[in-house]
Amino acid sequence: MKNSLIYVVIFAFMVLWWSPVYASQKECIVVLHGLWSNKYFFKPLEKFLKSAGYDVYIIGYPSVTKNIQTISTKYVGKEIEQCLRKYDRVHFVTHSLGGIVLRYYLQDKKIANVGRIVMVGHPNKGSGLVDRFKEESESLCGIIAGPAAQQIGTDKKALVWTLKPLPYEIGIIAGDNPGNPWFSSAIPGADDGRVSVESARLEEMKDFIVVHHQHTFILNHRDVRKQILNFIRQGQFMRTTD
């Protein structure tokens, strides 16, 4: 009888030891898309993060018809608050404009259960491409890109420049494959075709990496997804994804 009990204990220990590590059920990841995108575009990322054991919420919003303030307060804020009430820890993954929306939402808020934030392809210091469109035709820029895009130019008066540092763990992924040469010509330095590598940086960021991918489809690449997951789990990026 004593030997049988020992075998049971050893077996239980081995099961726990070899079981895959999943996220706590009290954690979730909120995903915010960028300009001219929607939540369905991020279904592959959702599937990947769910396979790691996280509940995932992709929040859609009208990126080309509303300004950042309205998007944040009316379309994104309520859903984020629901997650904050439901989960002990809420992480964020944002792409492009989505990161600016999140930064605006979190301004002057001290939220204890905000977890880690991964920002991908963010115009944190504005986008030279927005400046180019405004130079060509400001009215056309408004029609094509919408009011939110006009708030992320490199002009120091743009809304993006008024945002304060956030007291959370932030990891930033920037791309350096421009793709379209016309777009890239409007952006100083290395860029992903929409945002410069330098513009993606924040003073308060905890980690920063550059990947050789273009802006629009950067989240479709497995190495980027693995980096996102590693930062959420460990608070840092991998220096190799092999």
Q: Compute the distance between CA of residue 105 and CA of residue 174 in angstroms, rounded to an integer.
A: 22
DSSP 158-202: SGGGGPPP-SS-EEEEEE-----HHHHTTS-SSBSSSSBHHHH--
Segments making up each domain of the chain, as ranges = 23-234
Cβ atoms within 10 Å, residue 30: 26
Q: Compute the distance between CA of residue 152 and CA of residue 19 in angstroms, rounded to an integer.
A: 45
Write b or e for each residue in 202-238: b if 16 or more Cβ atoms lie within 10 A of its Cβ, otherwise e: beebbbbbebebbbbebbebebbbebbbbbbeeeebe
Q: Compute the distance between CA of residue 192 and CA of residue 184 in angstroms, rounded to an integer.
A: 8
Report the pLDDT value the prediction gives residue 155, as an integer from 0 to 100: 86
Tens of pLDDT, residues 36-81:
888 888 999 999 999 999 999 999 999 999 999 999 999 999 999 9
Burial class (CB in 10 A: 0-12, 13-18, 19+), 71: buried
Report the pLDDT value the prediction gives residue 23, as an integer from 0 to 100: 54
Residue 76 DSSP code = I
Residue 68 DSSP code = H
Report the pLDDT value the prediction gives residue 5, as an integer from 0 to 100: 46
Q: Compute the distance between CA of residue 232 and CA of residue 89 in angstroms, rounded to an integer.
A: 11
Residues of the chain with pLDDT under 70: 1-25, 133-145, 241-242
CATH of region 23-234:
3.40.50.1820
Q: Give whole-number Cα distances, 73 to 98, 103, 217, in Å.
A: 13, 12, 27
Report the pLDDT value the prediction gives residue 25, as an integer from 0 to 100: 60
